[in-house]
Chain A
Amino acid sequence: ANLAFGNSRDTSNLPVQVEADQLDVNQKDGTATFSGNVQIAQGEMLLSAPTVLVVYAEDSKKIVRLTASGGVTVVNGPDAAEAQNADYDIDAGTVLLTGNVLVTQGKNVMSGDRVVLNLDAGTAQVGGRVRTTLETQE
């Protein structure tokens, strides 16, 4: 099922700001883990989670993905989504939410196993066992 999620945006290379209590960089292989109410902000999207792992590209000059875990909430404009884990692919501008995902859009609430948020198009695509509750008594 497809659902509007936040408003679409023109480019996916808005600056990404990651803020956390702590960043731990393993000096052996350079893996970087943010921990302590981590907040990833880009444009109107705000993703918050307890821990976020930074996945660098091969030449490690680019961040390929940010994988958040331990209970994630994503807010994009008026809409919000919650899940256990989130995998934010910056270049593609998509956030893959897994683990009892709950998407609230206005009054409608939709839950599923897997939700792919497309930040550029401003849509949420819900996969797996989908259950929607629509508020209708307008």
Chain B
Amino acid sequence: MAWRETLYSRIISWLKVIFPLAALAILSTLFLLSRGRDSTNAIPYSRVDLQERMKEGMVNKPHFSGATSGGDLITFTAETAKPDPQDDSKALAEKLSAQIDLTSGTKITFASDTALLDTKQETARLTGGVVVVSSTGYDVRTDSITTSMREVAAETDGPVSGTGPAGTIDAGKMVLSTDPETKDAHLLFTNRVKLIYHPQN
């Protein structure tokens, strides 16, 4: 029986050598024998897109800000803007948002899917899902609105509807204007306005 123990312990001692070596061999295949990686190939992009942007003069994330005579800050930002091919004083912008910070602290923002900026008349005509939010608690939607880029003045083409500080509001038209005497900005809902307030006490 003794020879079985010695054979057993001899096998074990051989295994103690063979297993680490095998492990080492397997590990080395990970580094030494791996396929060559060609890390020099360039990042894939199509030259067409680049040329199209160059030809059109597309601008990404354009940003325009200015102050009105009354000291209110007006900032325009958009996803992209490109000059209007027919008339270079106009520009077409996508996903435009305008923000007016009044000296009184009130903040009014306009946002729309598309906008036509007229640098000659310094107006922007926002169309497509226009959202107007005023920090006095008004959040209304309309189809299109034309706003000045120099003064606090804007006017919707058609009806607006949305919510006021307390209740829903609908009106035939909405005009943002500055009162000449008091210099306060006023948001006018005109052409019949309707407010519905649900008191819950």
Contact = CB atoms under 8 A, between A and B. Distances in A.
On whether the two chains bind one another, the answer is yes
- The secondary-structure label for the interface of chain B is strand
B137 A60 contact: yes
B76 interface: no
A3 to B, nearest CB: 26
B184 A56 contact: no
Contacts, number: 99
A17 B182 CA distance: 30
| Interface bin, chain B | 20 to 34
A91 B201 contact: yes
A17 B194 contact: yes
B184 A26 contact: yes
Contacts of A107: none
Contacts of B108: 27
Contact of A18 (B104, B134, B197): B197
Nearest to A31: B136
Interface string B20-52: 000000000000000000000000000000000
26 contacts: A12-B199, A15-B197, A16-B197, A16-B198, A17-B194, A17-B195, A17-B196, A18-B195, A19-B194, A19-B195, A22-B193, A23-B188, A23-B193, A24-B186, A25-B136, A25-B186, A27-B108, A27-B176, A27-B186, A28-B185, A30-B106, A30-B137, A32-B164, A34-B195, A56-B166, A90-B197
Given A16-B199, A25-B188, A27-B176, 20 more contacts: A12-B199, A12-B201, A14-B199, A15-B196, A16-B167, A17-B196, A17-B197, A18-B196, A21-B191, A22-B193, A23-B195, A25-B138, A25-B187, A25-B189, A27-B102, A27-B106, A30-B136, A32-B164, A34-B193, A91-B199
Interface of A: 12-30, 32, 34, 56, 60-63, 90-91
